[in-house]
A and B are shown apart, each in its own frame.
Chain A
């Protein structure tokens, strides 16, 4: 876990989205800071010296072509990559100032704080209620059924799903539409009371109307959560995010205000990508 410093782009070791527009005032602290993150699947290097800072209660979008490392990178933030045999990380990841790869950190507790929404909605083959209650039960958040009902209701409301499912909480979650399933997965994450939500292409398998609903929801959630969203959809990144990071071949090419990235990128690669010249 030694930070590898001898790398060519030391200049961008730690970057904040404000770097190009100095006038941006930093109102909230940085929630996540990474320093020199290298990641390997066996011998193949998937991330090269990623250093960036993510601001609290902002939406940060990660864009880039398939295989550029953006999904791998968000999975290092809640240590989901720990589950992959032969995977190895170098560098530092700080959340709220705590090195999450330090020996004293329990990845289980980290994942309670850093929720994750996956590309393919993956509700448990249980009832709608039990899906949301899952995290409440395993974390022992509720003393009794009333408290648990309460958390389930609040989470479903926060995920803008309550009105659609309140009369059929005991029905199978698999009977919901794709968009509803994805919002259920969001509700399930919210029930664990995270600070950060990692979303790995949460709307890529959905129709435009369901996508719009999810985007609306993400915008709403921004008030209380720090959100990182990986997306292939450039319009989506432009619509909902405050900051955008562009990844290419495992490297962080550019990280800036979303408006800057999409109107006046400073790197040629970024411009080529967002104008659709490749990827």
Chain B
């Protein structure tokens, strides 16, 4: 402040002071610019290194074959299949629940009501829980709690659902990704002009008809974005499935809700820590990481495209 004041006063007379300020400015500009380059460089380094090392093993066979010879050869198909199945089950669980929560918060509850505040707080806190805690929660609540109870009631204590399984891993991931779906859906609902709700109500529609016929169709793109973001988040998580259903290696694909499964993220963990032959595993590891990254990047890209399209559509409507 002082400095710049002096500059303006001495601008014509004292060239030295003016120069010093210019140096400050340039230095700061350079530092902030450098910070940007560091970010770009990091991403390029990660993606570049993985793409460079991963490309050798990447092939159609790699994507469609099972691992062989203690994971030092073969492909990663069971892990891709398991990941897909896992996120589909997760989506089926998380989207209806998340959308319903968002609808209640935005369409029914008053923003000063206790239930609104408590739910808000719960969602915010849920988003901040470390993922390993979700893993332990899943093991205790879903596997041992619900699964164990099912076994006691329906299977006479025989171990069927009371052990790690794809359904429990999917539900654990659903709890983890719930905040993503709720917050995205809520944002979308908030962006829908209130005039449309009023127009519908003024025509004699019930609240339910208004939500089903006017609000949700308008929000569908936003809900889809939330779903994709949840999937891309869920697909990359390892900790929550560690104890709830992911397996080191399985000779066959999961075909029941209580089957265990292989998953890309967990497979990467296994490849990098449990391999009997590190040298032989390394290229496979790089390629697997590449596949996982490509998958999540792709999903995020789709979400971004849908969101930007929705924004232009809403802007045109306004």
Contact = CB atoms under 8 A, between A and B. Distances in A.
Interface in A170-204: 174, 185, 188-189, 192
Determine chain B's interface SS by DSSP, over half rule. Answer: helix
Interface in B175-206: 193, 195-196, 198-206
Given A125-B218, A138-B209, A118 B204 contact: no
Contacts of A57: none
Given A122-B193, A124-B214, A174-B317, A134 B203 contact: yes
Contacts of A115: 202-203
Interface in B89-132: 110, 112
B275 to A, nearest CB: 55
B316 interface: yes
B85 to A, nearest CB: 36
A122 B196 contact: yes
A134 B213 CA distance: 9
A33 B195 CA distance: 28
Given A134-B213, A138-B213, A174-B317, A120 B202 contact: no
Contacts of B198: 80, 83, 118, 122
A116 B213 contact: no
Interface stretch (A43-51, A105-113, A146-154, A206-214): A105-113
B110 to A, nearest CB: 5
A135 interface: yes
Given A122-B196, A124-B196, A134-B213, A189 B203 contact: yes
Determine chain A's interface SS by DSSP, over half rule. Answer: helix
B195 A118 contact: yes
A30 B280 CA distance: 92
Interface string B217-249: 010000000000000000000000000000000
Contacts of A174: 316-317
A111 B199 contact: no
Nearest to B214: A124
Interface range for A: 20 to 34
A112 B204 contact: yes
Contacts of B110: 85
Given A122-B193, A122-B195, A134-B213, A109 B204 contact: yes
Contacts of A185: 199
Interface in B278-318: 313, 316-317
A275 interface: no
A53 interface: no
Interface in A33-91: 78, 80, 83, 85
Contact of A192 (B112, B196, B204): B204
Nearest to A191: B203
Nearest to B212: A138
A120 B203 contact: no
A39 to B, nearest CB: 17
Interface string A110-143: 0110011010101111000000001101110000
Nearest to B193: A122
Contacts of A189: 202-203
Given A85-B110, A125-B218, A138 B199 contact: no
A83 to B, nearest CB: 6
Contacts of B203: 111-112, 115, 134-135, 138, 188-189, 192
B202 A125 contact: no
Contact of A120 (B195, B200, B204, B313): B195
A108 B204 contact: yes
Nearest to A114: B202
B199 A122 contact: yes
A16 B273 CA distance: 88
Interface string A206-240: 00000000000000000000000000000000000
Contact of B199 (A78, A85, A118, A137): A118
B204 A135 contact: yes
Nearest to A82: B201
B201 A80 contact: yes
A124 B202 contact: no
A125 B206 CA distance: 19
Contact of A111 (B204, B213, B218, B317): B204
Contacts of B214: 124
B106 to A, nearest CB: 13
A114 B213 CA distance: 21
A160 B164 CA distance: 67
A125 B217 CA distance: 10
A118 B201 CA distance: 12
B206 A111 contact: no
Contacts of B202: 78, 80, 111, 115-116, 118, 189
Interface of A: 78, 80, 83, 85, 108-109, 111-112, 115-116, 118, 120, 122-125, 134-135, 137-139, 174, 185, 188-189, 192
11 contacts: A80-B201, A83-B198, A108-B206, A111-B204, A118-B198, A124-B200, A125-B313, A138-B205, A138-B206, A138-B209, A188-B199
| A-B pairs with lowest CB-CB distance, top 7 | A112-B204, A122-B195, A116-B202, A135-B203, A111-B204, A122-B199, A85-B110
Given A120-B195, A124-B196, A192-B204, 10 more contacts: A111-B202, A111-B203, A122-B196, A125-B196, A125-B317, A135-B203, A137-B213, A138-B205, A138-B213, A174-B317
